[in-house]
Structure 1
Amino acid sequence: MATEKEDAYATEKHHEQTQDKELLRDETLVSDAKNAADAEQEMSLLQAIKLYPKAIGWSVLLSSTLIMEGYDLVLLGGLYASPEFNKKFGTYDAKKNKWAVSAAWQSGLSNGARAGEILGLILAGWVSDRYGYRMTTIGFLVLMIMFIFVLFFALNVQVLVVGEVLCGIPWGAFQSVTPAYASEVAPVVLRPYLTTFINMCWVIGQFFAAAVNKASVNRPDEWAYKIPFGVQWVLPVPILAGLIFAPESPWWYIRHGNREAARESLLRLTSRDDPTFNVDETIAMVEYTNELEKRTTQGLTYRDCFKGVDLRRTEIVVGIWLVQTLGGQNLMGYFSYFLTQAGLDASNSFSLSMGQYALGMVGTAGSWFLMSRVGRRTIHFSGLCSQLIILIIVGSLAFVKTNGSVWAIGGMLIMFTFVYDFTVGPVTYSLISELSSTRLKAKTIVLARAGYNASNIFVNVMTNYQLSSSAWNWGAKTAYFWAGTCLLSSIWVFFRLPEPKGRTYADLNLLFEHKVPARHFSRTKIDPFSQRVGDAIERVSRDGKAEKGLDQA
């Protein structure tokens, strides 16, 4: 019986593979797909904005869910400066004559949210594949609204930790869904802008958290902490109301064999005023790319992320996220800490923090202009090198024992924030969206972001020990440690991170399939619509001469 089932499965698999090959050789499909790809790569930014205004709007709306995560990231750190919050959730320290939340519970609160995010990421990977990005986001927004009640009415620090874990679940889901949706509803020229807007949302959330904390920190009642928690209800409701009418990604429909639904979705994402736009050719390009990926990606499970060609893609996307935690970015959150050491009161430190995050928004907007002229790989590597220099300067300032040196450290951390949000921060979202395969995009992003959150737990604990006066007490010398991890990250990026600028998903699929080295991605000529894929590739050698030799039917 088992042998019969295995034979039947093998026969069915062979039939599917035969159909896939026939579809790849369908001359009409190939011709239409090539026309759409050529039109997309020749499209200017202005043309793309005119043709895809609805896609831009829906992507921005869905990406706005990450404002909530950025908000909470800064909110908790600010609440530790609130006397009323400490009185409610902390313990009394007789020696210092004040109430405070212990370091253990502070770690529990911040790491509880990260643990919840990992769970949310894993759930979103399965749910989005089955029900789509739109329904997944709607479902987790409903959960978000419910879980905020736990934070708002928490009676003790234990319940507060539970609330952070629960709220972390939808935050994690939003982290995986937003870059996937943004990268699939827009053409090549718009992808970097819509995916990096996610970083803008993250910074906007941080800015508003600092503003709310500044306004409520000195209140003499329970509303000093209830207002900041309650503000989290402001965003989910309007976003939820809008997403009810949002179209699903055409790529998701194609992966599920629903061509007509994909066509209708694409029409809802584009303007009908452009007579040159051919919706059927664009759908053909999506179909062709999906079938091209099926040659190397047979399944849609997490296990498939670690098989064949997709293993390299998974390694790169996970590595990009890990670089975010290992590049010293964690020190940005300790800006207020260094200013408090300099004698600044909590309210004014929040004011300067708002300036820091506003500069981060300026940096993200500036990255849009940079990406239109410079490759993603170049931006990312240059940003890491700049961060390395700043970290070395911050560590060196620790040896200057003056009040002015602390202000100088604060100034360098502001500069670090600008560099990060101008380069590494926003371009990360563009890279992870483009370098993962379309069929495994959601799950690859889930694995990468889960690795990011797990490493964040380690980084948070390390940084607390490094800076705490009751532990290692390294102070600003901590920057030297993170300069070392930043250097290692820069080396990995140089050798492993490819350049996806100007490439369609079909291009990237073949570049990975033929194992083109990361440093040669931008110089490799490729035609994914040739009937014989191998004949269509020219890999450029190190001396600049074209080599033929990747001959694979």
Structure 2
Amino acid sequence: MQKNVREATEAEQQMGFTEALRLYPAAVAWSVGLSTAVIMEGYSLMLLSNLYAQPQFNRRYGDLQSDGSYVISAPWRSGLSNGALCGELLGLFLTGVAQDRYGYRKTIFAALFMVTGFLFILFFAQNLPMLLVGEILCGIPWGTFQTITTAYASEVCPVALRAYLTTYVNLCWVIGQLIVSGVLRGVLDRDDQWAYRIPFAIQWIWPVPLMVMCVYAPESPWWSVRKGRFEEAKRNLARLTQGSEDAIDATLALMQHTNELEELSTAGTSYRDCFRGINLRRTEIVCLTWLIQAICGAKFMGYSTVFYVAAGVPQSWSFNLTLIQYAIGFVRTVLSWFLMAHVGRRTLYLYGTLLLCCLLVIIGSVSLAPRSNHVAHWADAILLTVFIFCYDLTVGPVCYSLISELSSTRLRAKTVVLARNLYNVAGIVNWGAKSIFFWGGICFCCSLWIFFRLPEPKGRTYGELDILFAQGVSARKFSCTMVDITDSTLSREDKLTAKQ
């Protein structure tokens, strides 16, 4: 057993990117395929915020103003946006329970089935209350897509591919945003109800093909191991890799050994166990890592089209700029893969947050210029594009890799759910236009926390990370501490200490 564990650990650490692709092509294909569900979520969440800048949508659901224009009131805007977030909060907690009991495939399938039905409410909405109900109900499956795809990607691939497949989830977000921007730009010249109904209807493209994929996709072998179904785990591993039977047996032994390590510190798999013993630190790190993504100005990016219009940029150019920024965002996320491979997750997250802090202060200062200063408004638009460039190169994609790697395998689904819910709660708070300065200050505080508390998981197997956390290794020493996974195991005394 120990020989297999050691061999599997050494094989994962020595495996390069090219070899990992050769041995795990099926894992890459299934992970990329199921992560496509996040395209739908990124599309849906960005759709509503950008429809606020569409005259046809405002004319249908807004109130007539004295100047003859139609506007949806601020309370209703806030209610619609927060309605989706409230639905996501419920969906996330249900996901944590359902995934642990039924597995990844069945949970994703159920969420896709739900969203297919709930989309009818949005498409046929006759008024704002009906639109709100649709947003709340659709938020439930959207919450599932937010976390379960990342967790699945982190469990079906080796260490060499972990960063790429988990951050691909962020790329799916960018693709969704790019698609919605292109769709809205395409219907901009329409003057009827289809200007906003077509964008709603396009969301039906994804669910059915993805449900078919869920039927045939292999379950996560880590989930099977946690359930004690070792033969099932071996069959799923065989479907994910082209390695030899001996290599599959060694990988399975490593999974069993890692699961046993975590059982010593965490006997249960409930939400309460996320706040006990060793896992309390891991929960703090994962939750605050995702919170940082929310309070570094990400909310501000979702309303980029509205911001451009409010800044005095012509409407057609506002949609063009939004389309351009998301198109470039695709390239930025791919570039982040190369940066992570060379500098690591922690470094990229730290310097990315500091850079966003500086940009927010500059954008806020320029926004103080009077509305008559068109040069300042265009400068703000350009600076916002630069901000999004830096975000999609650093904080945006790297977050997904960190939250999936730093949570324990037994509590991953629930830890990630708690983190995403904290992210969503932070997104409910709207600090107004001058909040840019607030975000700038918060970004600086976040960079301090990253420096002292965020570990570097690059190149570590899940078993090694378990031992480093169990030994209380400082975050700044994670990357240089030597670990022998077969010798440095948790003792029973460690277990009792962790429980206290």
Find the aligned partners of 2:311 and 2:256 in 1 and give their Cα distance.
60
Aligned to 1:421: 392
Determine helix, strand or coil for the equivalent of 2:479: helix
Shift of 1:276: 8.5
Which deviations, in whole Å up to 9, do the C-alpha atoms of 1:14-50 show, x marking residues without a partner?
Answer: xxxxxxxxxxxxxxx1211111111111001000001
Number of equivalent positions: 489
Candidates 203, 221, 236, aligned match of 2:207: 236
Which deviations, in whole Å up to 9, do the C-alpha atoms of 1:493-516 show, x marking residues without a partner?
Answer: 111100101000110001111111
Find the aligned partners of 2:109 and 2:440 in 1 and give their Cα distance.
41
Shift of 1:83: 2.6
Determine helix, strand or coil for the equivalent of 2:181: helix
Range that drifts further, 393-402 or 508-517: 393-402
Find the aligned partners of 1:414 and 1:154 in 2 and give their Cα distance.
33
Range that drifts further, 388-397 or 260-269: 388-397
The correspondence of residues 274-313 of structure 1 with structure 2, limited to 5 A, is: 274-275=243-244, 278-313=247-282
Which deviations, in whole Å up to 9, do the C-alpha atoms of 1:82-104 show, x marking residues without a partner?
Answer: 233222222222x1212221111
CA contact (8 A) 2:313 2:377 kept: no
Aligned to 1:502: 459
Shift of 1:399: 4.3
Pair 322,342 (structure 1): closer, same or farther in 2 beyond 3 Å: closer
Shift of 1:342: 4.7
Amino acid in the other structure paired with 1:417: I
Shift of 1:264: 0.3
Aligned to 2:326: 357
Q: Percent identity?
A: 50
Find the aligned partners of 2:160 and 2:441 in 1 and give their Cα distance.
35
CA contact (8 A) 1:341 1:406 kept: no
Report the TM-score, using the length of structure 2 for normalisation: 0.95
The correspondence of residues 73-222 of structure 1 with structure 2, limited to 5 A, is: 73-93=45-65, 95-222=66-193
Find the aligned partners of 1:399 and 1:91 in 2 and give their Cα distance.
29
Q: Which has the higher contact order (CA 8 A, sep 6+)?
A: 2
Amino acid in the other structure paired with 2:148: V
Candidates 406, 409, 425, aligned match of 2:377: 406
Which deviations, in whole Å up to 9, do the C-alpha atoms of 1:56-89 show, x marking residues without a partner?
Answer: 0100111111111211222112212223322222
Candidates 296, 319, 341, aligned match of 1:327: 296
Larger radius of gyration: 1
Determine helix, strand or coil for the equivalent of 1:327: helix
Find the aligned partners of 1:532 and 1:354 in 2 and give their Cα distance.
51
Determine helix, strand or coil for the equivalent of 2:159: coil
Aligned to 1:4: none
The correspondence of residues 473-488 of structure 1 with structure 2, limited to 5 A, is: 474=434, 478-488=435-445
CA contact (8 A) 2:312 2:377 kept: no
CA contact (8 A) 2:467 2:488 kept: no
Amino acid in the other structure paired with 1:200: L
Amino acid in the other structure paired with 1:484: G
Pair 157,523 (structure 1): closer, same or farther in 2 beyond 3 Å: same
Find the aligned partners of 1:516 and 1:180 in 2 and give their Cα distance.
25
Shift of 1:400: 4.5
Find the aligned partners of 1:165 and 1:365 in 2 and give their Cα distance.
33
CA contact (8 A) 1:184 1:250 kept: yes
Report the TM-score, using the length of structure 1 for normalisation: 0.86
Amino acid in the other structure paired with 1:188: V
Determine helix, strand or coil for the equivalent of 2:486: coil
Find the aligned partners of 1:238 and 1:397 in 2 and give their Cα distance.
46
Aligned to 1:379: 348
Where does structure 2 lack aligned partners over 5 or more consecutive residues?
492-500
2:24 equivalent to 1:52? yes
Amino acid in the other structure paired with 2:441: G
Which deviations, in whole Å up to 9, do the C-alpha atoms of 1:323-380 show, x marking residues without a partner?
Answer: 1111122222343234324533323211110110111111100011111111110010
Aligned to 2:498: none
Find the aligned partners of 1:141 and 1:75 in 2 and give their Cα distance.
18
Amino acid in the other structure paired with 2:60: K
Determine helix, strand or coil for the equivalent of 1:244: helix
